[in-house]
Structures are given as C-alpha cells and as structure tokens.
C-alpha cells in the first residue's frame, strides 16, 4: 500500500538527486536508512555534516482535501525537508548563501511533475508555499547544549491519493 512512506521516500530521492548550485563538493546526503534516521542528525548533529537532510511528515495528520462537506478522496499533508548547516564547516556568508540557494533548488526540484511517479506515489501536487524556517541546532555536551549550526526546515504541502501497489 502506498501512502506517506512512499511520498517521504520520493521526496528524499528527489532532494538526493539535486546538484548544489554552490559548494557542489558538499552534496545533499540523506541521513536515513529504510525510514530509520541513522544517525538522527537533528537530535545529534555531531554525527552529521552540512547538507545532510531528513524528510519527515509534520506532526499534523493528513486531512481530506475536499471542499466543505464533499469528500475528494484526496489527502493534504505537510512533509518537511530538514537540512543541517554546521558552523565548523562553513563561514557565515557561505552558510547563508548556501541556504538561500538550497531552498530555491529544493523547491524547483519538488515541483517537477515528472519526478513524482504519480501512478506509484499518488502525488497530485507538491507546492512549497510555506515559509522555510531556520532554527539553531544544538549539540549536548558535558557542559550543556552548544550551538553547532542551523537546521533549515522547508515545509511542503503535498496533495495525494492513497494508491495500492
């Protein structure tokens, strides 16, 4: 059965295939293996490098995309692409430039209808219309939490139909 897992995997595959516009020697690297975040770079960023990313559905469950009172048999969910940028690997100007370029590259790549494999994934639309956010990435140490970089979260509204495989 298709559904959210195949959508997450498809988005991860699309982002993994992006060639970065700047600092191409630092590629996008998916930090998961069969749905398990190994290592969990958000909780333990010391295990990751810049441009490592995870794809996670938001905490909000999918909702029917129909108009009021009319079931559409389509679901709407938010799927987040979360990319880390570490202080130790990049200076501030380079980090900020990379984040801006990466947001644009990820949004363009996710809007490529040909990459969705609609019959298999059920994806009808990915429209990154929400504002990306940047949050401090902390690493726990013996002396407390230490700022080690940023996590850039790009929320992507996805409209899809459940598919049977």
Residue 34's pLDDT is 58
Structural domain including 104 reads: 4-160
Number of domains in the chain: 1
What Å distances lie between residue 149 and 44, 75, 86, 129, CA to CA? 12, 34, 4, 25
Asked if residue 18 is part of any domain, the answer here is yes
Asked if residue 133 is part of any domain, the answer here is yes
pLDDT in tens, the chain (165 residues): 458 889 999 999 999 999 998 888 888 988 876 555 555 666 666 666 788 898 989 888 888 776 655 566 788 899 999 998 887 777 888 888 889 999 999 999 999 999 998 888 999 999 877 899 999 888 777 777 778 888 999 999 999 987 765
Helices (H), the chain: 4-16, 92-110, 118-121
pTM over 0.75: yes
Asked if residue 83 is part of any domain, the answer here is yes
Q: What is the CATH number of the domain that holds 144?
A: 3.30.2000
């Amino acid at each position: 059965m298709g559904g959210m897992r195949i959508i997450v995997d498809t988005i991860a595959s699309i982002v993994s295939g992006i060639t970065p516009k700047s600092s191409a020697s630092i590629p996008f690297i998916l930090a998961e293996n069969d749905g398990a975040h190994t290592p969990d770079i958000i909780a333990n960023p010391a295990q990751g490098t810049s441009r490592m990313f995870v794809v996670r559905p938001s905490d909000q469950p999918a909702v029917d995309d129909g108009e009021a009172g009319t079931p559409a048999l389509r679901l709407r969910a938010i799927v987040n692409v979360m990319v880390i940028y570490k202080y130790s690997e990049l200076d501030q100007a380079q980090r900020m430039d990379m984040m801006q370029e990466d947001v644009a590259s990820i949004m363009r790549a996710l809007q490529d209808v040909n990459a969705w494999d609609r019959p298999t994934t059920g994806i009808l639309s990915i429209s990154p219309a929400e504002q990306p956010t940047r949050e401090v990435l902390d690493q726990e140490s013996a002396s407390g939490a230490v700022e080690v970089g940023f996590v850039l979260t790009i929320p992507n509204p996805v409209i899809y139909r459940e598919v049977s495989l």
